[in-house]
Amino acid sequence: MDYFAHELAVIDADCTIGKGTKIWHFSHIMPHCIIGEQCNIGQNVVVSPKVVLGNNVKVQNNVSIYTGVVCEDDVFLGPSMVFTNVINPRSAIIRKDEYKKTTVKRGASIGANATIVCGNDIGEYAFVGAGAVVTKEVKPYALVVGNPSVQIGWISEYGHRLNFDENGFATCEESHITYKLENDKVTKH
C-alpha cells in the first residue's frame, strides 16, 4: 500500500486510494470511491460509494460525503460539515436514482458544521463559513455565510478578504496576487 489506513478504518472493495493519503480511525471508505494522492481523511468520516476526491483534499473529523459528491484538488472540508444527495428524502421511499451531483471546485474551503444542499456547486477558491447552509451555487472566490447562506464578499486563494478599489482591483495581503472584479466575477490579474 502506498497510503496509510489506521487499523480501525474500514475500506471496502474496489476503492482507488492515492499515494501518501492517510485514513484515520473509525472512518469508512465505501465501494468504488476514488481518493487522490496526499489526502487526509480524519476520524469518523463516511465516504459513500462512488465519491471522488482529488489530490490533497483535507477532510476533518466527523464529515459525511455522500454519493454524488466530487471534490477537486486542494479542497478543505471542515469538522462535522455534511453534504446531502437527495432534495426530498423520506425513509419509506427509495430515491437512489435521484441523487444529485455536487462539485466542490479546486481550492474551495467549507467551514465546520456547514451543510451543502445537493445540486449546488461550490466555485474555485470559494469559502463557505462555519455553520452555513448552502442552498444555491457559490461563485468562484465568493465568501458565503449564514442560513441560508448569502455572499458577503470575495476571498483570495490564500483565504484573505479582498477589498476592491474603484477600478475593480484588489491585492491579497499574504500572496500579493492581484485580482480583478468585473461583472460580478473575480479573476486573477
What is the DSSP code string of 35-90? E-TT-EE-TT-EE-TT-EE-TT-EE-TT-EE-TTEEE-TT-EE-TT-EE---SS-B
Question: Residue 72's pLDDT band (boundaries 50, 70, 90)?
Answer: very high
* pLDDT beyond 90 at 1: no
* pLDDT beyond 90 at 21: yes
Nearest alpha carbon to residue 69 among 38, 108, 42: 108
- Mean pLDDT over 65-74 rounds to 97
User: Which CATH architecture is the domain 1-88+98-155 placed in?
Assistant: 3 Solenoid (2.160)
Whole-Å CA distances, 60 to 74, 88, 113, 123, 125:
13, 27, 11, 20, 18
Chain segment 128-149, per-residue pLDDT in tens: 999 999 999 999 999 999 999 9
Domain boundaries, the chain: 1-88+98-155, 157-189
